[in-house]
Amino acid sequence: MSSQPFLSVIVPAYNEKNNLKRPVLQEMVEYLQKQKYQWELILSDDGSNDGTLEIFQDFAKTQEQVKVLANPHRGKGPTVTSGMLLANGQWRLFTDFDQSTPLKEVEKLLKYSNEFEIVIGSREIAGALRDKEPFYRHLMGRGFNLIVQLLAVPGFKDTQCGFKLFSAIATEVLFPKLYIYRQEKPQTGAFTGAFDVELLFLAKKHGFNVKEVPILWKHFATDRVSPVKDSWRMFQDIVRIRLADAGGKYSID
């Protein structure tokens, strides 16, 4: 049997003290242990200062297939990228720490692994299920997606779902080419931004076909989302992506 994992699961995390009150880590490992394929779990910490990193390190001591990556606090984009490029899996999934989309949903994405190099979860297409989502979050997502359709990557119903699967080849082609979210400046709070949009923009530019698959998404209360502030910054980032493209930052060698 090959020593290369079939699936790497990359979980970005920033100050997850509240989420750690739930057995999130144990549930992810228990699910993976039931699978017939080889796997690894990479906990990619985004400069947490609430003890999250130390909890991760203690947990990893008890689990051989769990790795912990300590990053400076630069936001979700660079934190996901460092984990994806450290991973060794034939397939690499990044998923949110709160498990708003349960890890088990990866089975829906893997069904398409023989046809596509990139398969992404969607909360918007037919068959998706949103559980207890506040109206303002849905409205915010719809508005942002309209802007994305017009200015960046038309054709996707949901670019922001934090549940995306990449082959090793797609990972190694696309993630090093991120420009806006490769060298983010140090952050002072939690922020996701339009990282996923830049990634999908690059995927289209490099000719990767992307499959969008309906998934289950559960709402967990958070104080990290600011509808006005976050929407404005994400719009600015989409403009930055278009300007970077016009300036040749995404040129294909």
**Residue 38 domain-assigned (yes or no):** yes
**Residue 207 domain-assigned (yes or no):** yes
**Residue 142 domain-assigned (yes or no):** yes
> So what's the pLDDT on residue 134?
55
> So what's the pLDDT on residue 252?
80
For the chain, give the secondary structure using H, E and C: CCCCCCEEEEEEECCCCCHHHCCHHHHHHHHHHCCCCCEEEEEEEECCCCCHHHHHHHHHCCCCCEEEEEECCCCHHHHHHHHHHHCCCCEEEEECCCCCCCHHHHHHHHCCCCCCCEEEEECCCCCCEEECCCHHHHHHHHHHHHHHHHHCCCCCCCCCCCEEEEEHHHHHHHHHHCCCCCCCCCCCCCCCCCHHHHHHHHHHHCCCCEEEEECEEECCCCCCCCHHHHHHHHHHHHHHHHHHHHCCCCCCC
pTM of full prediction above 0.75: yes
**Residue 1 domain-assigned (yes or no):** no
> So what's the pLDDT on residue 124?
84
Residue 181 sits in a domain whose CATH number is 3.90.550.10
Structural domain containing residue 221? 7-246
**Residue 251 domain-assigned (yes or no):** no
> So what's the pLDDT on residue 155?
77
Number of domains in the chain: 1
> So what's the pLDDT on residue 1?
45
Residues of the chain whose pLDDT is less than 70? 1-2, 131-152, 183-193, 219-231, 253
**Residue 253 domain-assigned (yes or no):** no
> So what's the pLDDT on residue 144?
63
**Residue 232 domain-assigned (yes or no):** yes
**Residue 79 domain-assigned (yes or no):** yes
> So what's the pLDDT on residue 227?
55
> So what's the pLDDT on residue 194?
79
113-151, pLDDT tens digit by residue?
999 999 999 988 889 887 666 555 555 656 666 666 666
